[in-house]
Each structure stands twice: as C-alpha cells, then as structure tokens.
Structure 1
C-alpha cells in the first residue's frame, strides 16, 4: 500500500483525537494492491486494465521525517484490560469468528472516553502446510477491504472509526490488525430470544433496517458479513445492526442474504439455521433439519408465523424452489418493507396471534387470555371495603366543611369538640426497648497473616494481581477497581475485597485507608473463601471519608472471612484502597 493512509485508519504514531463531526477520509490505496479487491464484490465486469494487479498485505503508513517513532511495545496476550495501541483498552470479550480469525470486544476509547466495538484479527498458530501459516496475508486482505469501506455509513451498520493495520505501533504481539467501530448498545441475538420468540411484525421491522444496509453496501461493491450471529446486535429501539466489522475474505453478497434470512429465522424460532458451531459459540440452539437435510420451515416450529415471512425465510436461506428463492438483499428489503407497511396500515385491527406474548408497549394486548375476574369473590370484597372507606372519608370531609361554614355564618360561639371513640380508651404507656450494646470501637491487637482476593461474581476481577496490596500493612502499595463508564448497578451490582484469616477471629473492628471519599462499603461476613453474595451476612455499612475510616465489629461473632463489598464507587466511578487493617480481642 502506498500513499498516506487517513488519520482515522491505519497508523504507526500516537493516535490523534477523533471528532465525530469530522468526516472520515476515504483511504488512498495503491492501484497495484489487489489483495482486497480480488474477492471484493463489485469487481466483476471491470476491465482487466482497471483492476489491481498485485497482492500485498496492509502495512502501516510511513512516518514523516520529523517524527520520532518510539520502539514498538510488545504485549503478551490480549485479555480484559489489555491496551490496544496507546488509545484503546479492551474491556469485555463479546464473541469470536474463527473462520475469519477474529474476536469481538467491547473496548474503551481513552481519548474520547467512550465505548467502542473492536474486531481483532488474531495471529494463527504456525502451520507449515498452509500458504499463510500465521494468517498475515488474510489479515492484510481484510484490512484493505475495511479501508475501502471507510466512507460507508448506514443506520443498520456500526460506523467505522479506526483501522489498525498490521505492524501498527502498540499492537499486541498476537494481533495482526483491528477495526474500531462505534459501540452498538442493546442486546445480542441470544439475549434477545432468551425469554421467547419475538413477535413476527417486530422481527420483520428489526431485519428491515439491516437488509437496507446490506442493499446499499452491495450497491457500493461492499459486503457486511452478517451471516455470523455474534456480529449482529439488537438496539433498544428494536433494530438489528451490524456491530462488528471485518468479515472474512471469502464472504460474498449471497452470504449476506443468507445471513439476513438466518437472523429473521432466529428471531421467529429462537434457532440459528446456518453454522452449528457458530450457534453453539453464540449460545443459540441449532435449527432442526429433516432427514433429507433441509431446514424445517419456521411455521412448523412456531404456528402462527405469517405466510409471507415463512416464505421469505426459506427463500433467503436457499430452501425455496424456483421463483421463491431470494437472491439479493434488495429483494429481501422490498418484501420486508411491504410486510412492515401492511402492518402499519392494519394498526387499528387486532393482530393474528403468532405464538408470542404481547410487548408492554403494544397497542393490542392479549386481554382475551387473561382470567375473568368479574365474579371473583375476593375482588368483590376488596371493592366493597374500598367503597366503604371512600364513603367514610367523604362524610368526614362534609362534616368538616359544615363546621367551618357554621363558624363563618353563625357568628360567635365555639363549635362543639367531637372526641373520637378511640380517645376514650386508656392510654398505655410505651416502655422503650433496651438499647443494643454498642459495637466495639476497634481496640485490640492486629490480626496477622491476612490474605485477600477480588470478589466479583459477574465480572473479570478488577486488578486481581494487586489486591494483596490492600492487606499488606503498607499504605504506599494500593489496590484500585477499574474505572467504569456508569456507576453501579448499571453494569454490575458491585465489587469487593474478600479478606481471609488462618482461623475464625473475634474481630473488634477494622480500618480502611482510602482517598476515595464518598464510596459506600458494606462489611459482610462470609462462610467460606468462595461464597456467593447471598450467603454473606451484612455486619455494617459505611461511607468512606478521605483518609482512615474505622468500623466497629462485635467480637462475639468470630469469623474467618470478611467481605468488603463496594456498592458505590465514588468520584470518577473508581475506588482506591491503600490499606485494610483488622483488630481482634487480645489473647
């Protein structure tokens, strides 16, 4: 590749700050580079002298003579928390596509402080029998195709923000390249159908947007690669979007059409009709097939599916015959648009029951399946009680109004005082309950040999390698949580430090040294070294101040494991703990 690649694409130097309002430049490619165009759609029919003639993998742009390029930093492995160049940090692995040698991650753009979706191209294990033992040529071809799609934008596809070519400064050693796209909020296909199939009309409306994106991409000679279930996410407003880019080099427009049919089939039946291994990897059930190897129609698995959607699924998946086959994304988009438009025209009529429950925001609810409560004795009794209370309230209000009117128009005189019957009963003196004994203030001797682990039931254990710094008695060594995008409990209910002793100790108290003022910590006792949160017992709740916070405990309840469960991270959605000290009764 020759020429200068745009700043938003492949780079070797530090990453510039990216502005969403700045249009993405179309990368300048060498006419002799044919790696990505040989298989790219839209080259058929182009004269031979206008097509690329050489195949070279994508390489980083050359630095300007005045630039000083620091040495490439090798990173061993890509896990949650690993940096990807000097700008991105990997946060959560979403899935993978082994056929493309790709992994899908939710990452953080540390410059613009926003989540992004990253598709990593892994280095393959060495294979002497392959022409491309480590996948370098494959990665170069995929990167070049990604660069050519830099100007493609559609509401059905995540917008490409950055392309990291092989050899980019700061890439981990096992990564050949990556594509960075805007993060698509919502749920995966597996999460969407976990509670049951989607209403037929909602499924058609969801896939319509993605089919429109595929249509426009095919018209520009591009492909989406939506035939993999983990590349697609369903947004909160019900649209199916391509969330992770960099499809495998062999993907074609016909594969996109099959992928659209597979997504519609999955939303209707909760089964993935294409690759069985992809279905297992995505947490979906593989579609059933007949003894002859054909897919079972969606209407057989879910009676009530409209005929037009059933036929559309079979045609897009290649199960139809003759004119029922769907060959292009444009044809599928037109048919889905007709289904959605027909549903909008019939909004005043109750829809045909298709086997799925109504959504809370649907105009027509399944009231015909609700139990008839008109002759329910309990409901009638509650109604009589409610009417009686209402009548008493009305009488009290009318009496008060009458007294006020009498005072206003009747001249002097004192209105009679009405004593309620309850006032004539003898008043019983309330004897206060004895106060509970105050917890110990934390006096005693220090507890030696304290070990600690990160307690994170739903995450990846923030900074687990440094959690021992919190109990080593040295405030200069610290442990911190990760910095979260949103406060708890948006992503998880909390995170904690589980401290363990050699034996059960009669603790009199503990101290927490932390500069994070405002963090809320629950002190809990745990029955084992690997408990669930439900198995722990709450002892006290404290809000940390900047410096040392003291917590008193009851020495009459010895415990061997103490959990400090952080439910509020404090400022910047991050908590730092310098040291935790435990004290017990003197032996």
Structure 2
C-alpha cells in the first residue's frame, strides 16, 4: 500500500498546482473533460521549442504520505524515467528527441521523434496515466487509452493536406513499449513553427491568418464528413508550416472531444493569430507559452478588432461566431463546413483585390508582399543628422563655387589687364605621324634618363606578360615585351593596356623613343601622379602611331613628371603589340 502511495506522490512532481481549475479558467466545460477538474493542471509552462521540465512537488498531495515514503527531488519512479525522457526507445524503432508539449486533459505528451528504420523525423503522441486515474474506476487508464487508440485506428484511412498523416499506432502491451506508456500514435512530422513561435515575432496579417486557418478548416470539414474529429482545440497540437498553412501535427484527441470543440478550436486558432492571445483554456495557453485572452467584467471575450484596430469586420465576426461569442443579431458558426466556406470567400475576395493596397491592420508587411507599408520608411524630414549633413554639403559647395569664381576673376583680369601683351595660348598636343622620326623641334640640349623602372598597367586584367616587362628598358632591342593576342580589338574586351614608367625623381622629359616591331599600334603618352594611379587620374600629353622600328615622340619638358604611362589603345597586326625598347631623354639646364 505504501508503494502505491509512494508512486502516486511521485507523479505529483509534474503538477505545479494541485487545485482544480474552474470552467472559466480552462475554457472547457467539466462535462467535456474526461479526467475531471483535477486533471487540468498537470505540468508547468514549457518554453516554445524546448522540452517541458517537471515542476515542484505538490505539498498538499505529499502531506498525506508518511514521511518515510515521501519522494525527494533526486528520487523518481521507474515509470517516470522509462517512457518520457529524451533518448527513450519505443518498440526499438522510434527514439524520442524533443518534447514539444502536452495535453493533460487527454493524458497526452507531444514529442518529436526519429524513425530509426526510415531515418526521418516523426511526431509521436504518447498516452500516459492521469493523476485522476488512481481515483477512478479505471485506475490504470487503460479504458481511456483504449478508446483513444480505437478512434485512431478508425482514422487510419483519413488523409488530408491540413492534417499530419497517421503512420503507426502502438497500443498498450506492444513489445518494446515502456510500462508507463498506455499507447502512442506516430504521424509524419510537420515542419515549421508552433503557434506561440509564430505570433512571438508580432501580429500576423489578417489575410495571412485567414489563409492559414482555411487549410485546417478544410481538413476538419473532411474529417467531420467521415464521422471523425481532430481535436484542434489545443494550441500545441497545431503547427504552422513554412508556407503559412496551419496543420494538425499531433493526433489522439481526448475521448470527449466533439465536432463543436473542433469548430471552437478553429475559431481559437484564428483569434490567436489575429491577437496573439489564446481564447480557450487558460491552462492550455500558459502551457503553450501564450497569453490568455482578455475578457470583459461580464466574462465575454473581447473581439479581435477591439485589441487590434484594422481587423476586417468579416474576420472579426467569423472569429467570434466560431467561438460562440457572437453579439446581438449575429448567429453562431456551428459547423466546420460553414467556417471553411466563409474563410474561402474572404481569401478569394482578397485575391480579387490584389491590385489595390490592403487596409492597414496593424501588422507590418512581409518582405515578399507586393504592397509595402509606406510608414515603414524612415521619416527624415526632421532628422538632425540629415540636416547636419545637408548643411555641410551646402558649405562645401559654396566654397567650391567661390574658388571657381576667384579663378575666373584672375583669368579675366590677366586677359584685360597687365602689360597689354596677348596671353600665351598653348596649342593642343598633336598626333605624331608614323615613321622612323617625328617632326624636328627646336634644338634643346638633352641627356638620357638612366634610372627607369617599368610595370604593366592593366586596370581591367591581370597584366599581360608582366614578368617580361623589364625587357622594354634593358637597353637591348633584341628583347621585347608584348601583349597577349586578343580575339577582338580594343575596346571589345578591355579599353587598353599600357606600360607605366617611373623615375627616381620628377624629370623634364623632352623626348621619348619607342622601338616596336608591330606598326599600326596607337599609344597615348600620359603623365601620372603616381605609379599606382588610376587611368582617370592621368593626363594625356601626346599621341603616337608606331611605325616599324623607332618612333620618336617629342614632349614638353616644361612640366617635370615622375611617372609616364604608355597607354596602348589600338593593337597592331593580329591584335597584338610588342615594344622592344623605350628610352627617355630629359632637358639639360
């Protein structure tokens, strides 16, 4: 006798409060609950996506047990340790992985498990003894579990896109089933999120909520037409798929559930998606990690439109009608078929109005929505940082305008003032014709530049024959540097390619000689501020078309430069150019 009492006391560890719930608190009538009022508070509130943890020991229950037989926190019964721990095996095929939730009224636990034979995830509903079973005519709860198993077997042929498909049914006494498990139903795993996880990020768009419940309403309608019930009045039995559909994920509803309870469950699901509150059982809401719905002093639920302005009136009326909370002059929704038909009309009407922006219902638009909320864009009209940046930009612009105006003033003054001599205007650089010698210029004393380093300049590629570019300044015309052979002439693949020559110090270059064996190559001579400057930072000094042999390009040595770029814009024959030697001469003072 003490062992039975000891076991009974140990099972109270799963109950945070032994006081029975009232019908107002649970949202269920006592006649609909087979376990009686005492079974509505059996486990603490689980966090979404995590296994539930056992609560504190019920002191009221353990006070009736002798001190020598009372369990401690380190003492658990063999029944509690066998069937409900992560890693437990069922019939040597299913391994429990994560506890999703529980339905104490049905004595059910919801688990995500692994089918070790087919290597896939499954949803398992376990049936365990209820605390009230010890005080009933069925102390082991086998009759209750047997009735639920029989109903599951009857629904084995039912398949619908809104409900998980039944894969296996395990009855009490099945080989490999733990002793404390009275039965189990194995269904396909429904990916996605729980109801609590779905609404935790914020309210769901009204039309998305209607589409989500429509799929489950269709499944409920088909089940009722086959004489079956789903038991979708429990928030942890339903999951929201990644494409936004609500599906019944865990089977084996309690024996007393009826078609009317399914209709109320659909209304509760729609209410929860619209308001982020659960309108049925307060204990189920807390156990699922949801907030219980607010009620008026008279005990009536507050309509979704009162908690969230902008909810369409048709959804507001349909939701309250399914929950049996319709106002004066409004009827109650009695069947799942009627609920499904009205949800279908709402969804179809929304599809017909897709070309018009939807009414703002308080929920932010999703990234894939065609119509985005304009109020999601930041209002920068009174942004201090934006105004500060604008003032800074205007100040810089004003300074630039003043500098330009000052420069123009100096030029105009030099034009009309001074000694009266005409201003000196430099003509643009002329292109040097092809030939061994360029046009003769005035005799200027010059000397060759000795220290010259070169590198391939290729902004749009990886540098053609970069290892051989030093042969262009090695003093031996027999060695040369050449570009790659291109399939198309410039600028089909790239704007050009060149050789960047750098000096130890800025030099007044007066003449440039290029020895090439690819006549027809067009080269732009550009001055560069640095060896790693971009093409846009260089200035064109002259342009030359290379002939066979040496081509002399005279330069203006009045402006010393430290870097000169030979930029090839037109390739020679066969879309390839070669440079045997490059020499520079500087003016001698």
TM-score normalised to the size of structure 2? Answer: 0.54
Note if 1:217 corresponds to 2:223. yes
Q: 1:78–1:377: structure 2 CA closer, same or farther, 3 Å change rule?
A: same
Q: 1:296–1:75: structure 2 CA closer, same or farther, 3 Å change rule?
A: closer
Residue 255 of structure 1 is matched in structure 2 by 261
Instruction: Summarize deviations over 1:94-145 as a string: whole Å, max 9, x none.
Output: 0000000000000000000000000000023475531112211000000000
Q: How many residues align?
A: 342
Q: Could you tell me which of 509, 525, 544 is aligned with 1:416?
A: 525
Q: What is the rounded CA distance, in whole Å, between the counterparts of 1:355 and 1:416 in structure 2?
A: 65
Q: Is the 8 A contact 2:133 2:141 kept in 1?
A: no
Q: What is the rounded CA distance, in whole Å, between the counterparts of 1:138 and 1:277 in structure 2?
A: 22
Q: 1:415, CA displacement in angstroms? A: 4.7
Residue 348 of structure 1 is matched in structure 2 by 355
Q: 1:86, CA displacement in angstroms? A: 1.2
* 1:65-214 correspondence to structure 2 within 5 Å: 76-125=82-131, 127-214=133-220
Note if 1:240 corresponds to 2:349. no
Q: Is the 8 A contact 1:95 1:282 kept in 2?
A: yes
Q: Is the 8 A contact 2:93 2:116 kept in 1?
A: yes
Instruction: Summarize deviations over 1:482-511 as a string: whole Å, max 9, x none.
Output: xxxxxxxxxxxxxxxxxxxxxxxxxxxxxx
Structure with the larger helix share: 2
Instruction: Summarize deviations over 1:533-559 as a string: whole Å, max 9, x none.
Output: xxxxxxxxxxxxxxxxxxxxxxxxxxx
Q: 1:90–1:369: structure 2 CA closer, same or farther, 3 Å change rule?
A: closer
Residue 313 of structure 1 is matched in structure 2 by 319
Q: 1:228, CA displacement in angstroms? A: 0.2
Task: Describe the SS at the equivalent of 1:355.
Answer: coil
Task: Describe the SS at the equivalent of 2:127.
Answer: strand
Q: Is the 8 A contact 1:78 1:172 kept in 2?
A: no
How much is the aligned-residue C-alpha RMSD, in angstroms?
Answer: 3.3
Q: 1:75, CA displacement in angstroms? A: 7.6
Q: 1:158–1:382: structure 2 CA closer, same or farther, 3 Å change rule?
A: farther
Q: What is the rounded CA distance, in whole Å, between the counterparts of 2:119 and 2:145 in structure 1?
A: 28
Q: 1:360, CA displacement in angstroms? A: 1.0
In structure 2, the gaps of 5 or more residues are 1-33, 35-78, 397-458, 461-489, 499-515, 534-589
Q: 1:412–1:216: structure 2 CA closer, same or farther, 3 Å change rule?
A: closer
Q: 1:410, CA displacement in angstroms? A: 7.8
Residue 335 of structure 2 is matched in structure 1 by 328
Residue 551 of structure 2 is matched in structure 1 by none
In structure 1, the gaps of 5 or more residues are 1-38, 40-72, 386-395, 425-587
* 1:519-538 correspondence to structure 2 within 5 Å: none
Q: Is the 8 A contact 1:126 1:134 kept in 2?
A: no
Task: Describe the SS at the equivalent of 1:421.
Answer: coil
Q: What is the rounded CA distance, in whole Å, between the counterparts of 1:408 and 1:201 in structure 2?
A: 75
Q: What is the rounded CA distance, in whole Å, between the counterparts of 1:330 and 1:193 in structure 2?
A: 26
Q: 1:379–1:328: structure 2 CA closer, same or farther, 3 Å change rule?
A: farther
Residue 277 of structure 1 is matched in structure 2 by 283
Q: Is the 8 A contact 1:125 1:133 kept in 2?
A: no
Q: Is the 8 A contact 1:92 1:107 kept in 2?
A: yes
Q: 1:401, CA displacement in angstroms? A: 3.8
Instruction: Summarize deviations over 1:207-233 as a string: whole Å, max 9, x none.
Output: 000000000000000000000000000
Q: What is the rounded CA distance, in whole Å, between the counterparts of 1:303 and 1:401 in structure 2?
A: 61
Residue 433 of structure 2 is matched in structure 1 by none
Q: 1:377, CA displacement in angstroms? A: 5.5
Q: 1:369, CA displacement in angstroms? A: 4.1
Q: Is the 8 A contact 2:277 2:290 kept in 1?
A: yes
Q: 1:367, CA displacement in angstroms? A: 2.1
Q: 1:410–1:226: structure 2 CA closer, same or farther, 3 Å change rule?
A: same
Q: What is the rounded CA distance, in whole Å, between the counterparts of 1:74 and 1:361 in structure 2?
A: 47
Instruction: Summarize deviations over 1:439-490 as a string: whole Å, max 9, x none.
Output: xxxxxxxxxxxxxxxxxxxxxxxxxxxxxxxxxxxxxxxxxxxxxxxxxxxx
